[in-house]
Each structure stands twice: as C-alpha cells, then as structure tokens.
Amino acid sequence: MTKTPEDRRLELLQGTLDMLILRTLQWGPQHGHGIGQAIRQQSDELLKVETGSLYPALHRLVKRGWLKAEWGTSEANQRAKYYRLTAAGRAQLLRERDRWEQLVRAIGLVMNPAPGEESRG
C-alpha cells in the first residue's frame, strides 16, 4: 500500500506544538498562518498544525511572555498579527528542546534496550 500525503500526516503530541512554534519564530517574526505553513513545510509535509490548536497555543505563549504580538502587513498586503520570540521565549525554547531530546532518549531506552538488558534475570 502506498500512503497518500494525507495518510502520512501525524497528530502532534500535546506539548510539542509550543516547542515547534518557538523554533519556527527563531527564523524571524511571522503571522499565525505563516507559522503553520513553516511547520508543515519544514517537516516535509508530515506535521499539520490545526488552526484550532495553533491560535490557542499562540495566545498562551504570548500570555507567558515567550512571544510578543504586533500588527503588521503580510506579503498579501493584509493586516496580520505578527509574533516574535522574546528573550524569555528563547530561553524557553532551549528548555523545551532539552526536555524533548531527553524524552526521545528515555523512550528509546524502553523501545530498543541494549542487548542483554531485556531479560528479567
């Protein structure tokens, strides 16, 4: 069976969206739609961020002081809210990246234990 791009799409796990938004904004300020697009494109079309998750996440990140929102004009010459990373947001991104890498490593230890570690003695 070949998978269509639609089938290949993955649901993001709770907690990873914030990290991806912060990461995307390291490349410069962006409006909400652009953030969603960037995540989709950078992930080779695997990650699709639903609007219903994206905007609440942006709102939450602004509230925590990790992003700042300001009005600007999009490429299509329309007014749009642009988000940019604050210094606190940069620090948070480092923490979330660290946590994610640890989680991947820890899960890897369970999923693929070193040879000889599987037996129960």
Contact positions vs its own copies (CB under 8 A):
8, 10-16, 19-20, 23-24, 27-28, 39, 42-44, 46-47, 97, 99-100, 102-107, 109-111, 113, 117-120
Residue 81 half-sphere exposure, CB side, CA atoms within 13 Å? Answer: 9
Distance in angstroms (rounded) separating the CA atoms of residues 57 and 24 = 13
**Closest distance of CB 74 from its own copies, Å:** 13
Q: What are phi and psi of 79, to 5 degrees?
A: -70, 135
- Per the structure block, which two tokens stand in for 87? 């210094």
**Closest distance of CB 1 from its own copies, Å:** 13
**Closest distance of CB 113 from its own copies, Å:** 6
